Amino acid sequence: MSLWLRNIPLPPEHRARMRQRHLAAAKRTGESLRRRRLEKEERIRREAAAELGRVTARDVFIAGVAIYAAEGSKQKPWQTGSNTVLINSDPRMILLFLRWLEVIGVVRSGLTFRVAIHETADHVAAVRRSAKPFDESMFGVSSAGEPPAILDP
């Protein structure tokens, strides 16, 4: 039918209604795809957690070494010192790094934190967020202070 009717002009209100229907359908499709993707990601997380089981101190040690190798600062000939530094903005990596420090015997009371804000960031929002007291709940930890995957001794 579209070939037969292609030369018949549509009134503007019909075009607008067709456009609105098209946009609404596209939005529904996008929402559906997003919901399915999120459900799939959650299913994969649950399956991976079930397969992994409980995280041991050895697991944290190995992961911490890998994170430090990738994201930590190392001594350089021109910059020697005993600081252990992690540069990362992912809260899960920061929490894992803190767990690693515990596993290797570093006490939290001896830690200091510094926030670097990129020049293109929303400085006001970043300062507001980083000025709050450190609360592990922002990293997905329960109110009891237990990480999502409990460490076995």
Asked if residue 40 and residue 98 are part of one domain, the reply reads: no
Side chain identity at 107, as an amino acid letter?
V
pLDDT at residue number 151 = 39
Give phi and psi for 9, each to the nearest 5: -70, 145
Asked if 138 and 91 count as a contact pair (C-beta separation under 8 A), the reply is yes
pLDDT, position 94: 84
Q: Assess whether 31 and 64 both reside in one domain.
A: no
Which domain, by its residues, includes 25?
Answer: 8-53
Instruction: Confirm if 97 and 64 have CB atoms less than 8 A apart.
Output: yes
Domain count within the chain: 2
Instruction: Give the pLDDT of residue 45.
Output: 87
| Phi, psi angles (nearest 5°) of residue 102 | -60, -45
Other C-beta atoms closer than 10 Å to the C-beta of 97 total 21
User: Does residue 151 lie in a domain region?
Assistant: yes
Residue 75 domain flag: yes
One domain for residues 12 and 79: no
User: What is the structure's pLDDT at 145?
Assistant: 43
- The residues, any chain, with a CB within 8 Å of residue 1's CB and separated by 6 or more, are none
Q: Examine residue 1 and state whether it is found in any structural domain, yes or no.
A: no
Residue 141 in contact with residue 148, Cβ under 8 Å? yes
- Domain assignment of residue 2, yes or no: no
Each residue's pLDDT tens digit, 38-65: 999 999 988 988 888 888 889 999 999 9
Is 19 in the same domain as 81? no
Q: Which residues of the chain have pLDDT under 70?
A: 1, 79-82, 129-153
User: Do residue 49 and residue 121 come from a single domain?
Assistant: no
Verify that 47 and 98 share a domain, yes or no: no
- Are 71 and 128 in the same domain? yes
Same structural domain, 116 and 41: no
18 lies in the same domain as 75: no
Same domain, 144 and 79: yes
On whether both 93 and 114 belong to a single domain, the answer is: yes
In a domain, 134, yes or no: yes
